Structure 1
Amino acid sequence: MAAEPKPRLADSLHGIVDAGLQTVQTRLELLALELQEEKLRLSGLAINIVLCGLLLGFGLVFLMVFLTVLFWEEHRLIALGISTAVCLGGGLLAASNAAREFKRGSRLFAASLAELARDRDALKPRE
């Protein structure tokens, strides 16, 4: 009967380090994937915001010109005043929405942080 060779300490440490490095690599790949998804989401959002702003801006200008020409003889100052108030009100509403969204922040790396928290909990000594 031949005795089985006992694993050496260096081999055990090598296995532990290898498993740790694989875990870190997986977490970094997850972070990179989340960053890519956030970049795509933000670029699409930026394109939609710019397009929306341009089209709504042109539409509002044409509406103001139309109303001013329509009421030119009798109420042109009222038409210009109402158009100005609508533009200023819309601008203030948009600024308020942007400020609220900015304060809310981003959920960037939420899944990665949750995974790291689970890893940390798994590595805690059990009683």
Structure 2
Amino acid sequence: MRLNEIVFTDAKPVDGYGPGFFRIGGQVLQGAVIAGPQGTQTWAGLEDAETLLGLAGKVDVIFLGTGAEVAHLPDDLRTAIDEAGLGVETMSSPAACRTYNVLLSEGRRIALAVLPV
């Protein structure tokens, strides 16, 4: 039998989402949201690079949901994330939520930053 050490964090799965809101770990949050090992909180969106950069060293990848459609990140934000050594995967918010939930269940070091649909 193989035993793996489990490290519990404050990361919660996405339970649902809709126009302008996300339900994460049973809590409904309006607007953009960031979730991961630091817990779940509202987020100021793509203009708030500081919050994303604060995840450096705590996560390996951030799944960044850009709303209903995939959009490119602003060049300055992409550069700052790369310089911080963070991996970022940009996708639609529904796809980011699904991917986050799957990898969270596997115990991966990940975070979710999503804009509402």
Q: TM-score range by the shorter chain?
A: under 0.3
- Find the structure with the greater CA-based Rg: 1
Q: Which has the higher contact order (CA 8 A, sep 6+)?
A: 1
Q: Which has the higher helix share?
A: 1
TM-score (norm 1): 0.21
TM-score (norm 2): 0.22
Q: Which has the higher strand share?
A: 2
